[in-house]
Amino acid sequence: MASSACDLSQLDALACSDPARAFILASGMEVGQFGQIPPTFAPSCERACCNGGERGSAVGVCRLVEGLVTGQVPEAAQNPSRCDQGYLVGAFPGVNSSSSILLLRAIEGPSDCTESEQAAAQMRFAGKLWQHVEQLAQESQGLAMELINSYEQLNVIFDITKRGAEVQDVDQIKLFLLRKLAETLSCDWACTMSKGEVCDWWCGDGQSECEGTVGWLQKAHPEVLKEVSEEGRILVGSKSSGEGGGWSCSVMVGPLKGGDEIQDIVILGRRQSRGEFKSGDMRMLDSVLSHGGELVSNLRLMERLRTLSFEAVLTLVSAIDKKDSYTSGHSERVGVLCRLIGEQMGLSPTELQDLEWAGILHDVGKIGISDGILTKPRSLTDEEFDHVKQHPRMSYEVIEPLRSFGTVREAVLHHHETPDGKGYPDGLKGDEISVAARIIHTADTFDALTSDRSYRRGFSLRRALEIMRQDAGTKIDPDALVAFEKALELFREEHPRRYEEMFGHIKEDEA
């Protein structure tokens, strides 16, 4: 009994690691497998018939085995019979059309008719059992592949969603989506098309192939792009080396859509050496594009809402600025300068957005300051100046109901605080002042110095920078000032027209 238990334990372990060996031990039969390179002969066949040579060589084997090696399973072979060496042999087709197995069983001495029929019946049953086990193994492998593909899909979707939360920029998300798809599906290149134009592309080294294949699709197969665009289907095709360039590749095309609207067409390319796209690839593309399309659609909606809100606030602030003709456009310029300084200081996209909002809204409280004080052509009295100094707190109170503007409110409240602690309204100093408030104060100071006022002319660029450098460490944050000077020069070089529109009123030097 102990020996039997040990045998069952051994069979149980082998059933997973080496099913062919487990089958041999359980049935007492030897197995030969064909349809693979090299074939695997039954051990007795190899010993008795094969004349040496390389592993898998069919030299010297019987006609039955020779036929199995070439992919032929005689129908009569499924009725087991004795071979020339005295073994009972039977051949059975495998699950795949090109595969087959040979079962062999040693029979010692002559046997009567009944025994032979029983042995043959057992072998036929074993052949069917082997086919069934092979079918289950293949299905199991297919399920495993489906599981792996599903895991990869979830991985890609998770990465894209995470990236969308971090970046919130449509173009960057689309490029990231392309790169993840191309890497996961072993592509050589990928691109998106919008209104017939190639918008984004990603590849390792196949830009010319990407452009050439897209051109070939547009010229030779416009119906494919039309079908994907109008019906939202995933299509797969192949391009031979003689069509539109000297390379062969497999192409997969699908829609990037949000809701019912198809926004872009995604085209993936894979060189012939990597194989053609399969149904699993199509399912993955469909899942990822469905999720990615919704993400892109939501981001575009958020962009439109942000733009609408931004324009509405600019309109309001512009109306307030125009209470004083000398400060018209001041808040918008401060908002732009704040973003430029923040970018130079390495702030995150969310911090930059909050900073720009704060720069635009920093003087909104001046709506509560009388026009007589704001436009007074002479110096203000102490009482009048104390009244003006209330505008940061007034601005804070105006935007206080906006709960999502917590960071913006604090920056607006403290944008007149200074490093030496002599600012207002709370007399904060040094690191007690937020980075955003320091940046706004720097931008606000520059625009105030270089703009005309009712009581003086604006300073030149050179003189304004000299004054700000003299005040660095006392009135102006030194780090914000360094970042400001770099950002302004870079903006002037890279966007000369925009610079002229916003800061063209500033003289280079004193006359």
Joined tokens for residue 209: 């192939």
Specify the CATH architecture of the domain 168-300. Answer: 2-Layer Sandwich (3.30)
449 and 469 Cβ atoms separated by less than 8 Å = no
Indicate the residue type of 99.
Answer: S
pLDDT band at 491 (very low <50, low <70, confident <90, very high): very high
Q: What is the pLDDT of residues 428-468, one digit of tens each?
A: 999 999 999 999 999 999 999 998 877 778 899 999 999 99
pLDDT (0 to 100) of residue 78: 78
pLDDT band at 510 (very low <50, low <70, confident <90, very high): low
Element (H, E) at 349: helix 349-361
Indicate the average pLDDT of the chain.
80
pLDDT (0 to 100) of residue 204: 62
Mean pLDDT of 263-280: 84
498 phi and psi, to 5 degrees? -65, -40
Indicate the residue type of 253.
Answer: V
Cα distance between residue 282 and residue 318, in whole Å: 52
Cα distance between residue 341 and residue 468, in whole Å: 15
128 phi and psi, to 5 degrees? -65, -40
Do the domains spanning 168-300 and 322-503 agree at the CATH topology level?
A: no
Element (H, E) at 281: helix 279-321
Sheet with 87-93, side-by-side order of all strands: 30-34, 100-106, 87-93, 81-82
Beta-carbon count within 10 A of 179 CB = 16
159 and 182 Cβ atoms separated by less than 8 Å = no
Closest CA to 410 of 430, 386, 428: 428
The verdict on pTM exceeding 0.85 is: no
Q: What is the pLDDT of residues 69-94, one digit of tens each?
A: 877 777 777 788 888 888 888 888 87
Residue ranges per structural domain of the chain:
2-141, 168-300, 322-503
Write down the CATH number for the domain with range 322-503: 1.10.3210.10
Beta-carbon count within 10 A of 394 CB = 17
* Bond preceding residue 38 cis, omega within 30 of 0: yes
One-character DSSP codes across 63-96:
HHHHHHHTT---GGGGS-EE-TTSEEEEEEE-SS
Could you give the 3-state DSSP secondary structure of residue 303?
A: helix
